[in-house]
Structure 1
Amino acid sequence: MSPRPFFFPDNTVLINMALLGHVDHLSAFVQGRGRWCATIEWEWRQSRDELSLHHADAAVRGTCGAVIHPQDSEHTDIEALLTTMRRPGDPPNRHRGEAETLVVISHRPDLFGAVFMSDDGGARQRAREEAAVSLCLGTVDLLAYFEVMGKIDRRQAHEDLNVLRRNSRHVRPADPTGYDRLVERLWAKRDIVGQGRRG
């Protein structure tokens, strides 16, 4: 396993970061370790055009790096995982990007320990069951990290939640109180780690 993980955002996170103007913060967070699979890149292109997010395209591509294409048996496993993720009435390609990402991570030793970033509850649950995924983060988790990094302040984070709500973007927690609890836990964790290093 690499000493530093790779970070795989899905399209929900990319859209949210673009809407909020925080793709540069995401890039600083992943520190050159962002990655994406072919279907996520395709989904981003569709969303970029539909939601007029062209202003963020270069930054998104710079953050996510070269596109990873599934190979050989990965295609079979993607279809199998996709079948278990679909619900009655889902469009044929729903969850394909997330399924492709999770299979690619699990099949390639150099990606073991990757961080999966998504606001899709079902995809996050699947990722938590995948041994090759070390952590799952959503948009609000990322906002909390951005605050701890000094990229945004609490007022900005609360306004970001309002922006997401006005754009019908579903995230958890969606309220300022829930965000405050989340970020305070992150601050406390950082303080504990810092004390351990000093001790």
Structure 2
Amino acid sequence: MQHYLFPDNTVFVNFAWVDRLDLLKAYLGGRGRLTEAVSYEVERSKSYVTNLHKVDTAEWFDAVIEFDDGTAIEKIEFIRRRRFGGSETEPLKHLGESQTIYALTAIPEFSSSCIVTDDRAAHALARGLGCRVAHTIDVLRELVAHAEITAQEAFEIYVAMANASPDGRSFLESPTSARDFS
């Protein structure tokens, strides 16, 4: 069974802030998948994260996964509202994470896939449901393991990400040196 990688918007933004989307694309290696809500979030984020314009979803991803079936939409909404506390007044909040978790837990083709997120709630829920999970630091470690970058470069990229954005990036792990990427 094919193992796909489902990055969420936080991961795109992390790499965009430091103009290293090339590394995220290398990590995905043609195995990236995207739900319609995450695709929308990436497009919307392009207005305030300049380098995101370098992401061409048609080039990076075979197709955006859409949900038209009423039962799927109900289950996604259940995850969004009951598991993430989403509200009617903010219908897009947590929708990308909910669609991705639904895809990984309900669509057999994606059952061995991985959600890549720095959202604590999404990471915890996906892990609790038995999904494979990763986050930005894991992406950097994988890039080091495949000799795309050195451990020192990974640490420097992490520090740059943490300092780059005006809203302050939040990570699930806080490495203290290049040794944390070896």
- 1:9-158 aligned at under 5 Å gives the runs 9-58=7-56, 61-72=58-69, 73-84=71-82, 85-86=84-85, 91-131=90-130, 133=131, 135-158=132-155
Length-normalised TM-score, structure 2: 0.86
The aligned length equals 176
Q: Distance in 2 between matches of 1:26 and 1:146?
A: 9
Q: Name the SS for the 1:157 alignment partner.
A: helix
What letter matches 2:44 in structure 1?
A: Q
Q: Name the SS for the 1:49 alignment partner.
A: coil
TM superposition shift of 1:54? 4.4
TM superposition shift of 1:117? 0.2
Q: Name the SS for the 1:75 alignment partner.
A: helix
Unaligned runs of 5+ in 1: 185-199
What letter matches 2:172 in structure 1?
A: R
The equivalent residue for 1:197 is: none
The structure whose residues are more often helix, as a share, is: 1
Q: Distance in 2 between matches of 1:17 and 1:61?
A: 19
Q: CA RMSD in A?
A: 2.1
Q: Name the SS for the 2:170 alignment partner.
A: coil
TM superposition shift of 1:87? 6.6
Q: Distance in 2 between matches of 1:77 and 1:175?
A: 36
Length-normalised TM-score, structure 1: 0.79
- The percentage of counterpart residues that share the same residue type is 24
Q: Name the SS for the 2:55 alignment partner.
A: helix
Unaligned runs of 5+ in 2: none
Q: Distance in 1 between matches of 2:176 and 2:61?
A: 29
Q: Is the 8 A contact 1:119 1:139 kept in 2?
A: yes
TM superposition shift of 1:71? 2.8
